[in-house]
Chain A
Amino acid sequence: MESIKLKKITSVWIIAVLTLFVASIVLGILMRLNQGGVLHQAPITFYSNMTIHGITMIGIWFVAGMAGINYLMERYVKTSYTANLIALILTVSGVLMLWAVTLIGKFHTAWTFLYPLPLRVMWAQWATPTFLVAMSILATGWLIWGISMMTQVLKVYSIPQVFAWQHFKKDPAVKTPPFILISMITLVGVVTCLLVAVLLMALYFAEYFSKGNFVNDALLMKNLTYFFGHTIANEMLYLGLAVIYELFSEVGGKPKWKTTWYVALAWNFTLIFILTAFFHHLYMDFVQPEGFQIAGQIASYLASLPAAAVTVFSVWVAVYRVKIKWTLTNLLFFVGVAGWVIGGFGAVIDATISNNIVLHNTQWVPAHFHTYNILGNVLFSLGFFYWFSIQFTDKRVSEKLSRLILSLLIIGGAGFLLAFYIGGADSIPRRFSNYPAEFTTARPLANIGAVFATVYLIPILILFYNISKRCLKILFSSS
């Protein structure tokens, strides 16, 4: 059973994530208003905000997923509180440094910090080394956490069992819970991409301090950057899915989902192909050999489509003509799966080489990744946060308020995303602080996006208040 210490630390994670989420949404709205010409920020301010918005969002929803699986994993294996605490301390230190680096130091490479940008110091001198240190601290903390969870699972399940290989035969003696399967597959990806991050930081440090005696290969650095960035952004979704596989049926008052051969197969595909799907970020890099580009397209399909198909199938079977108990938790999960699939579809369109030639670096890109985040992964974690917060209290969000929250999330989210999608289809480039007059639709679309994002912010604030209040109670309670 979950210990008191685990409950408390999970509460801290949740409050921290929600606080940073609200702050980052505000930055996002300011960016959209600036693109719409309502605000007139200096370009450096816009790009510093964009950088910290991107890094924070990726970071918080990654740790939200990790905290979620850590909490639920305690049902199957004993997890390490120390590793969880180290990750928390290092995350807080890293995040504080990153906010200082961008908002005070004006570091503005975008969250992808593509080589050689961090080394072309156009900001406070201290910002580049502090950024590299902050990223190293985060990678170290998360590596410790990830490896620790992997170790605890391996204490109970063997390697073939964690990957559910015995399910490829009939009537396996040991049954791997889907939660363990997906968590482990995700942790392997997480550890791999964090090792990439450590390597990447080491190469940056080497060039930074070598005074020109050591230079990096831009192609290697870009490959490593997306190996890390793309993989972590995807793995955090799978952390959320592990939570859904564990809780969806339980919350609805139904028996737990089971691992079958096709669930095992689909997730094993994800294990392998997610590690090479990042090649689709280099379609425009003519120095990358063609074979890698083709591998990128195939891996993008194989990493996402089978896992999406079995998840949608599982959710569909669980709800279609089945009487289940709907609560805010499983409603958030349900809408989240829909958002994930729609966003994933947008991503697969973009990952297809012939389409990427048109869509590359247009607003189609923020359109699709915001879809599976704001209407996908964020809802997975919010569902978990809400479920966690009501575990220890009788008070629930009323049905009326639940409906309001969901409606505003969907309306706000869909409007915000649609403005990006239409912009993308109209070839409006992404990452512009201001749009020249030639892009006639860019400004109105940005302002429409800002209005809908504000609508999205309302239910987030309600949930923030509601969940944080309960988490604070858990944090300060003695039992």
Chain B
Amino acid sequence: MFKNIVLLLLIFGFCNFADAQTTSTALKEETNIYERVYDAPLQVVGQESATFDELYAQRPVILALIFTRCTGICNPFLVKLKESLQFKDGDDSFRVMVLSFDPRDNLSDMHRLAQNLGLEENEQWAFAITDSISELTQSVGFDPVWDSARRQFDHDALLVGINREGYITKKLIGLRERGDLDLLTGSINNVFVPTYRLQNQNMLFSCFNYDPVTGKNKPGLGLIFLALPAVLTASLLISISILVRRSRR
């Protein structure tokens, strides 16, 4: 009975700790995967207004979320994206949709951005705004924070891959190379993409440690964990057998 009471107290303790949990940063790219993107009405530079589902139904979309008054990551992010996607020039299996998440931006701001990037005439790229931005950002798990002192948004450089059915199949955060973008375009075209989270300093017990230089796996500490329970049971068996030897005689 006493044990049960202690256990119940423990449970209450744990329940109070419950909100200590936050989603690990390493999992940020995994949020909202296989969820549907919000079907926002879009105004696209040089095109007629359309809803998001009309656009992704034509071709899968890589969504890049930026704002034109951005003094931080947005410009390098788009320049890098343009550069990394050069190997896909003329490929019509996807469209890059550059969408402003800042309600202050209008179509001419986006037009200017397209011109500055030299992408105004590029069929693969579209620049757009929407009046339903908060629903859309929420649906893709993008959470910009307004910094009133700097009059800037604090935000991730996020690319969201959306397939023809409107499902988010993959997300990439940061300035990414051609290899990653290849996986992204594959995934929005429903090609299976084998990916695995690389170990980082917070991951102490991985089964294998991948060396990006040699491309080889080395056995890691995690493998010991796999063998440990059997070793413990065997030791337990032998220890018990020795301890109770006397009663056997």
Residues of A within 8 A of B (CB): 86, 89-90, 93, 97, 116, 119-121, 125-126, 128-130, 132-133, 137, 147, 150-151, 154-159, 188, 191-193, 195-196, 199, 203, 207-220, 223-224, 227, 275, 286-287, 289
Contact A212:B14 (CB < 8 A) given known A116-B27, A155-B247, A158-B241? no
Given contacts A199-B228, A214-B202, A217-B222, 14 further A-B contacts (CB under 8 A): A116-B30, A120-B27, A125-B15, A125-B19, A128-B21, A151-B240, A154-B240, A159-B237, A191-B236, A207-B24, A210-B202, A215-B26, A219-B208, A289-B217
Whether the pair A212, B206 counts as a contact (CB closer than 8 A) is no
Asked whether B236 lies within 8 Å of A159 as measured between CB atoms, the reply is no
In the complex, which residue of chain B has the Cβ closest to the Cβ of A287?
B196
Contact A199 B23 (CB under 8 A): no
**Interchain CB contact under 8 A, B205 and A199:** no
A212: B residues at CB distance < 8 A: 22-26, 202
Residue among B217, B226, B229, B247 with most chain A CB within 10 A: B229
* B205 contacts A220, C-beta separation under 8 Å: yes
A157 to B220, CA, bound (A): 39
Contact B202 A126 (CB under 8 A): no
Interface residue? B20 (CB, 8 A)? yes
The chain A residue with its CB closest to the CB of B24 is A212
B205 and A217 within 8 A (CB): yes
A119 touching B233, Cβ below 8 Å: no
Chain B interface bracket (under 10, 10 to 19, 20 to 34, 35 or more):
35 or more
Query: Which of these binds chain A: B4-12, B86-94, B99-107?
Result: B4-12
Report chain B residues within 8 Å CB of A93. 4, 7
Taking a contact as CB atoms under 8 Å apart, the answer to whether B207 and A217 are in contact is: yes
Q: Number of residue pairs across A and B with beta carbons under 8 Å?
A: 139
Given A97-B11, A219-B222: A196 and B207 interface contact (C-beta under 8 Å)? no
The contact of B207 among A154, A156, A220, by CB within 8 Å, is A220
Look across to chain A and name the residue whose beta carbon is closest to the beta carbon of B232.
A195
A209 touches B17 (CB 8 A): yes
Q: What B residues does A155 contact at CB under 8 A? A: 244, 247-248
Residue among A195, A217, A218, A224 with the most chain B CB within 10 A?
A217
B88 to chain A, nearest CB (A): 25
Whether the pair B233, A154 counts as a contact (CB closer than 8 A) is no
Nearest 7 A/B pairs, CB to CB: A217-B206, A220-B222, A129-B14, A195-B229, A126-B15, A125-B18, A212-B24
Contact of A133 among B11, B202, B220 (CB under 8 A): B11
Q: Is there a chain A Cβ closer than 8 Å to B145's Cβ?
A: no
A119 to B225, CA, bound (A): 21
Query: In the assembly, what is the distance between CA of A90 and CA of B228, in Å?
Result: 25
B200 contacts the other chain (CB 8 A): yes
The residue that A150 contacts in the complex, of B26, B207, B237, with Cβ under 8 A, is B237
A224 contacts which chain B residues (CB < 8 A)?
225-226
Cβ 8 A contact of B21, one of A86, A90, A121: A121
Nearest CB in chain B: distance from A295 CB, A:
12
Given the known inter-chain contacts A119-B24, A151-B240, please indicate yes or no for A158 contacting B248, CB distance below 8 A: yes
Select which of A128, A192, A213, A227 is within 8 A of B233 by beta carbon.
A192
What's the Cα separation between A209 and B206 when bound, in Å?
Answer: 19
Question: CB-nearest residue of chain A relative to B19?
Answer: A125
Chain B nearest CB: distance from A109 CB in Å?
15
Q: Which residue of A lies closest to B217 (CB)?
A: A289
Residues of chain B contacted by A223 (CB below 8 angstroms): 207, 226
